[in-house]
Amino acid sequence: MSVSGTSTPARVLLTVRELEVTIGSRAVLRGVGLELQYGERVALVGPSGSGKSLTAAAVLGRLPAVATGRGSVELAGEQVLSVPAARRSRRVRVTAVGQDSRVALNPLVPVGSQMRAAVRACGADLSPADLARELAATGLDEPERVLAGLPGELSGGQRQRVQLAMALAGRPDLLVADEPTTALDPVNRRRVLDVLTERLTGSATALLFISHDLDAAREVCSRAVHLAGGTPVDPPAADPATSGATAVGAGRRTCHVIGSHSPAARRGPGVPEDPLLQAHDLHRFHPDPRPWRPWRRHCAPVRALDGVDLALGAGERVGLAGPSGAGKSSLLRILLGLDRPDRGAVTVAGRPIGAGPVRAQRWFRRTVQYVPQDPATSLNPRMTVHDLVAEPLHRLDVPGDPAAAVRAALDRVGLAAGLAGRRPGELSGGQAQRAALARALVVRPRLLLADEPVGGLDPVLRDHVVDLLDTTCERSGAGLLLIAHDLDVLGALCSRLVVLHAGRVVEDGPTADVTARPGHPVTAELVEASGLGPPVPVTAP
């Protein structure tokens, strides 16, 4: 466990007493209290829906308009909770890092401009060279180009490190990090944790680290506050490897190996005799988005996919892994019919697919369904959960009783019937993810394309969704193409693992063999960063 260093005498920075937050007549936080000193690193941990992010919003003075806060939140002795934003003291510098960098960063403003604004909000002013050094300190290559570019030109892991650099460049008194590693692949998760540890060690900056990743919390923080159901709870039994009652609890899922009774397990890798989905020789080039930049005048288009071949049989479960920027999202968009390859073709049940009107693709949409990574940006915020789940039934002319189908889908994903009338903004991240899964399952597709469906969930809900996907595929015979960063999850659900790197398939084989004996350096790095043990040394091809 890491213990935060500090160069200042122990002084209380943040005090939260008897915090209570209500939405309407419902109390969602009750009796929350914590204390944080300058330079201290404290984790706020708990399952999805326990109130972690709402506590962070109260500390930042950003409670939703529909929420009412009571109790006390003080920063260096000054009240935050009951004071309007315009009247709050700026003596204490507070910054934040969120889970989704796509939401946190303005896609239309260059990174450098956003960094300068963030630094000035902390009362500092850094030169472009200083900003480049801040980016370089997070491990980003070519920081000058990153400063001049747009967030959309960066991978998810790069954007998250930009967020960290923005938050730390102004030397804040308090950094609130809300699930900063949840959406990252193991390699970038490792890098972000290293940046946090290196930058905060010996610093007076305090850290409130909010996460359901107990391994990450234990590594970064010296103690933890546990929440469940909106109230503080006693920590779980201490890990033998840690000491003291304040130790962050341990807990990492050890996923089961897919059973030999599964159709996917029996089939194994290779091209199926009668594939349900087949992609052949896919190439995709993205044009230079900003050709007027001086250093881009002679840049070739970005090669997102370079001759990708992939086939899935009916009922087969295939995992797709790879570092950020490997081409996973580009491949997924083509398989979903949302983008066209520059070369190559995709067929489903022997029929070609392609971008086109929804009505012309109804057969495809009923055959293949998508489970998104981030329900916050994929679910219509104006619709209720019931209407969101029922919408595919109406749009795709699925026969039967829609209300009964919605109830069955919500029950299958473990979402209480009382949540059917709520909107996405009234759900926790885990609840929203389950609503997105119910929306995909309600039409009973033959193939699910799932993009990190458990990436934002706590371990308990992650296990629940993994078991749900396992059971659903087993009973319905549906196939699964699962994009995930967590190799444990891929090992639990998929008998075959495909690894992408630089737009090419570099590994394709039985999951157990690929993770135990990786044949490519990128696979070895993913295995090692996932904590699955030291891989067998490989030689770069």
Q: CATH assignment of 12-233, given 3.30.465.10, 3.40.50.300, 3.40.50.261, 3.40.50.2300?
A: 3.40.50.300
Three-state SS string over 243-301 comes to CCCCCCCCCCCCCCCCCCCCHHHHHCCCCCCCEEEEEEEEEEEECCCCCCCHHHCCCCC
For residue 415, give both structure tokens.
């979402």
- Residue 476's pLDDT is what? 74
**Domains 12-233 and 318-529 alike in fold:** yes
Q: What class does CATH assign to 318-529?
A: alpha beta
Helix segments in 106-155, DSSP class H? 111-121, 128-137, 143-148
| Contact by Cβ (8 Å): 386, 421 | yes
Describe the crossing of helices 385-395 and 402-412 by its angle, rounded to 10 degrees.
Answer: 120
Enumerate the domain spans of the chain: 12-233, 318-529
- Residue 266's pLDDT is what? 33
C-alpha 101 chain-centroid distance: 10
- Residue 537's pLDDT is what? 52
CA atoms within 13 A on the CB side of 279: 26
- Residue 112's pLDDT is what? 93
Predicted confidence pLDDT, tens digits, the chain (541 residues): 444 444 444 689 999 999 999 988 888 899 999 999 999 999 999 887 788 989 999 999 888 888 889 999 999 888 888 777 667 777 889 999 987 788 889 999 999 999 999 999 888 889 999 999 999 988 888 899 899 989 887 877 788 889 999 999 989 999 999 988 877 778 888 888 988 999 899 889 999 999 888 888 999 999 999 998 889 998 766 543 333 333 333 334 444 343 333 333 333 445 566 789 999 999 998 765 555 455 444 456 678 899 999 999 988 999 999 887 788 888 999 999 888 999 999 999 889 986 556 677 888 989 999 988 777 778 999 999 999 999 999 999 899 999 999 999 998 888 888 999 999 888 876 788 789 889 998 999 999 999 888 776 777 778 877 887 888 788 777 899 999 888 888 999 999 999 999 899 999 999 999 999 999 999 998 888 777 655 545 544 4
| Contact by Cβ (8 Å): 56, 48 | no
Q: State the Cα–Cα distance between residues 514 and 171, nearest whole angstrom.
A: 43
- Taking CB atoms within 8 Å and a gap of at least 24, the contacts of 142-146 are 145/295, 146/111
Q: State the Cα–Cα distance between residues 514 and 326, nearest whole angstrom.
A: 18
Provide φ and ψ at 387, rounded to 5°.
Answer: -70, -35
- Residue 242's pLDDT is what? 36
Mapped onto helix, strand or coil, the DSSP state of residue 76 is coil
| Contact by Cβ (8 Å): 162, 463 | no
